[in-house]
Amino acid sequence: MHDTVAVWTVMMQCIAAGLVAGLCVLHTVWRRDDPGNEHSHWTLIWSIALAAVFFCDALALVSVGTVWHDPLTVLAAVALAVALLLALPVAHSYADGPPFRAYLIVASAGFALHTVLLVTGFVTARTEPRIGALHTATSIAAFLVPAAVVGLYLAVSLRRTPSRRTRRALVGAAGLSVTLLVVSYLAPSATTRSALASAWLVPLIVALEVLALRRIRHGQRKAEQQRSMRDAQARLSNLAWYVRDPHALLRRAEEEARELLGDPTIRGTIRTLSRGRFVTDLSPHPHIATDPSERKLLMALANVVSSAAERHALAARLSRAAFSDALTGLPNRNAIDEHLVNAIERGSIERSRVALLYADLDGFKHVNDQYGHAWGDQILVLASAHLRETVGDDVFVARLGGDEFIIVVERAGDDAALLRLASRIRDDFLETSQGRPIPRISVGITVSAPGDTIDAEALTLCADIAMLEAKRTKVGVLVFDKHLEAQVAAENLLHREINKAVEEEQFCVHFQPIVDTTTLQVLGLEALARWEFNGRLREPREWLDYAETSGLIVAIGNMTFRKAFAATERFDLPVAINLSARQLAEPTIVEDLAAAWGDRDWSMLTVEITEGALLQDEQQTVSMLAQLRSRGARIALDDFGTGYNSLARLATLPIDILKIDQSFVRNMSSPPGLAVLRAIVALAAAHDLEVVAEGIEQVFELETFVELGVRRAQGNMLGRPAAAVPVR
């Protein structure tokens, strides 16, 4: 190092370079935390350039008196020019200055000229010292002009700085730096010029770095605030799953916003819109300004409150839909199951009785079909209101489905009190203001006493059985007791036995002869299904209803067809079979009959149906009968006169035979009864229908039909049903 260069100057340059390099680390962290911030990007680049300026100045000072002094001086000048040029985008990013492209071009040209003059000045100074001094003075002027351009842009940009305090600090630092720079060129002492040249940038660097550090700290505070805002939103979002009151949640949102933003004037409002929508507003006092991030936080908290309110409102609607009946507003089947289980548990704990009343509207389907579904719905609404009013608000009333209702009475009294309550339910529901008759209510009652091991499903089933028995016996109100329980047990046993009988084909066929009323010759047979059980025949009235409702009658019928048709080959007589309404509802009945009949002569088959069977699905039934008739089978209308067909429709039905019901035969001894028989016979003759009299038990009955011209009859007097071959 040259002796004239003060050591402290070099040390100051190195220390400044190290400090700026250390600041570059902070700027790097800032840029990593906030990569989209333009300030951090340009500040980092400019800090690197400033560190290079101080480092190059130190090298140039150290190399005085060596061959490396001139190149390092040029390098230091270039680094300084680059740092000054970078001040343009830095100022633009900080102060939102005007476009700097023109300033950059002019300053770059001036600094390029300064560099060229500086290099040529060093070369010329070795050969012609006087010309070299001139070059040096020119290069100084070439440096000051672009530096002034940069200074002008900085001055224009500083005017746009929003903070007056920041603007004053930067103006003062920039003025001090310019003053030091000018003095460094005008000072008479070389040592002074060198020291000032090394220190002129320090004030501006310190001011800008302090500003950058403040920006970093501001960014950190902003990041911390953002994290706090996110935490507040998360806390409120978690709380929203548990707080179902939107106003309570809104108060919590107000507390979060006030604490986080330090503004006690923040208030919130929530309004209900149509279709379960909510709108929430969180805002400070109108005269208090908020930045965008704070407004974003308030909007986010308000959205959490609105979303939670809408979610809980939707959940409440879904819950009501899941546990309530849409028509009557009563609890539905789901609510019944839950409430009944809880009621039984409470009764077990309290050692009290729990009663279940099963209410059903008698003949509701008929009324619904006669007056329309709108009237049927109104009846259900009236029934639900009647039940609520009769039992009181503290008793659970629900709609099980259709026209069935459930009443659960906890801490129930004795059976007499329950019967009185059920009687009021039945007797008080009689007429409406529109004068239309409405169905009466049948009620079945069952009770769960302390210590009983009955569950909710079994309790409901027992009440249902009591209601059905009350409806069947026309008593209207019935308690499920030991007698009814024994009856139900017997029916269940019978049902199991019937199922087993069908599986093991225990059903057989008996034949009742159809005879000529004048010669008593057997003209045909009616095949009748019989159930042989433990060596005896069980009466059809014991099992026929269950077979019909359960659908087993189809299997029993097919079994009967096969056995009957096989037996008739031995008898060589026409055979008549009965088809129930349930069998007629089977879409494959024609194919099943054809498969059982085989290749036999269809004219030997008569299919008997009742008038009631025609009411199930008349169009399908008539179509099926027409198919059988087209094959050659004959169709008989059984139990004529006991059904609902009008006499005028006989001509439109595909039938060949009228079978007079035995109830008319029993009344033939009276003049009115005989007149009815004459009318039926005349009606059949008018429609060219054959007549068969059923239930002949006495001789005078047979003689009367002979006089009326009826040529076919059957009854126990003429031949009981039997499995053996009938005698002609």
Q: What is the pLDDT of residue 2?
A: 44
125 and 108 assigned to the same domain: yes
Measured CA angle at 193 (ends 187, 198), to 5 deg: 145
Report how far residue 115's alpha carbon sits from residue 121's, in angstroms, rounded to the nearest whole number.
10
Phi/psi region, residue 533 (left: phi>0; alpha: psi -120 to 50; beta: rest), is: beta
Q: What is the CATH number of the domain that holds 17?
A: 1.20.1070
Range of the domain at 348: 329-480
261 and 136 assigned to the same domain: no
Could you list the beta-strand ranges (E) of 321-454: 354-361, 396-401, 404-410, 441-448
Closest by CA to 172, choosing from 210, 140, 142, is 210
365 and 510 assigned to the same domain: no
pTM score over 0.85: no
236 within some domain: no
Residue labelled with tokens 């998360």:
234
448: tokens are: 């769960």
Report how far residue 663's alpha carbon sits from residue 52's, in angstroms, rounded to the nearest whole number.
126
Report DSSP letters for 514-551, one per residue.
EEETTT--EEEEEEEEEEEETTEEEPHHHHHHHHHHHS
Burial class of 321 by CB neighbour count within 10 A (0 to 12, 13 to 18, 19+)? exposed
Report how far residue 573's alpha carbon sits from residue 526's, in angstroms, rounded to the nearest whole number.
10
Q: Give the H/E segment covering residue 282.
A: strand 278-283
455: tokens are: 């569950």
46 and 179 assigned to the same domain: yes
Domains of the chain: total: 4
Residue labelled with tokens 């680094």:
79
470 and 526 assigned to the same domain: no
Q: What is the pLDDT of residue 82?
A: 79
501 and 368 assigned to the same domain: no
Q: Is 513 within 8 Å of 522 (Cβ atoms)?
A: yes
Q: Give the H/E segment covering residue 479.
A: strand 477-479
232 within some domain: no
568 and 464 assigned to the same domain: no
Closest by CA to 196, choosing from 207, 212, 182, 175, is 182
Burial class of 30 by CB neighbour count within 10 A (0 to 12, 13 to 18, 19+)? buried
The DSSP symbol for 606 reads E
DSSP helix/strand/coil, 634: strand
517 and 641 assigned to the same domain: yes
Domain boundary residue, one of 282, 297, 322: 322
pLDDT digits (tens, 9 = 90+) for 498-521: 888 888 888 888 889 999 999 999
Q: What is the pLDDT of residue 3?
A: 44
Q: What is the pLDDT of residue 712?
A: 93
Q: Is 361 within 8 Å of 383 (Cβ atoms)?
A: yes
Alpha helices in 241-372 (DSSP H): 246-261, 292-323, 333-350, 364-371
Q: Is 230 within 8 Å of 222 (Cβ atoms)?
A: no
Report how far residue 327's alpha carbon sits from residue 338's, in angstroms, rounded to the nearest whole number.
20
290 and 410 assigned to the same domain: no
Amino acid at 611: E
Q: What is the CATH number of the domain that holds 679?
A: 3.20.20.450
Measure the N-to-C terminal CA separation of the chain; round to a whole number of Å.
154
What is the mean pLDDT, run by run of 10 residues, along the chain of 728 residues?
Answer: 52 65 63 59 72 71 67 75 76 71 80 73 58 56 73 71 66 70 62 58 66 67 79 86 84 86 84 80 71 81 86 75 78 86 89 92 83 85 90 89 91 90 87 66 90 83 90 88 82 82 84 91 89 80 79 81 78 86 82 84 88 70 86 86 59 84 85 88 88 91 90 90 70
Domain boundary residue, one of 322, 357, 390: 322
565 within some domain: yes
* Phi, psi of 337, deg, nearest 5: -60, -45
Q: What is the pLDDT of residue 123?
A: 59
pLDDT digits (tens, 9 = 90+) for 593-623: 888 888 888 888 899 988 777 666 677 788 8
Q: What is the pLDDT of residue 225?
A: 77
